[in-house]
Amino acid sequence: MDLIKKAIEVRKNAYAPYSNFLVGAAIKAKNGSVFSGCNVENAAYPEGTCAEAGAIAAMIASGQREIIEVVVAADSQTPVTPCGGCRQKLAEFSNSNVIVIFSNLNGEVGRMTVEQLLPGAFEKEQMRS
């Protein structure tokens, strides 16, 4: 199953009773494994989890550490990009040239690199003295 279809399919499992904005994400790790996630809201708004964060957590839990491909899908008029926090999470586990694909349910698709989404990302190397 390609990543766009996977992201669209998993968004159906989202728990979004407050916003009713269902989001799905699918990522491919360097070893070829695919991980997915959906947004999970919480009554203690904004203590929810984004779809991208859920997919990354699943990848990390499996022992993988490097993303080579990302798709985010939502039912929106135009494709939506990851939020700022998720952009930083994606930057942590991929290189700046990884393509992030964002799609809506109408078949519209956008593409940007991680660097285009988050220029000047904070990197772990900056923490070393």
pLDDT digits (tens, 9 = 90+) for 14-47: 999 999 999 999 999 999 999 999 999 999 988 8
Dist CA 87 CA 109 (whole Å): 18
At residue 1 the predicted structure's pLDDT band, cuts being 50, 70 and 90, is low
What fold characterizes domain 3-127? Cytidine Deaminase; domain 2 (3.40.140)
Q: Residues with Cβ < 8 Å from 102, sequence gap 6 or more?
A: 71, 72, 73, 79, 80, 81, 82, 109, 110, 111, 112
**How many other β-carbons are positioned within 10 Å of the β-carbon of residue 99?**
14
Q: Which residues are catalytic?
A: 52
Where does residue 119 rank: exposed (0-12), middle (13-18), buried (19+ CB within 10 A)?
exposed
Amino acid making up residue 71:
V
- Whole-number pLDDT of residue 129: 64
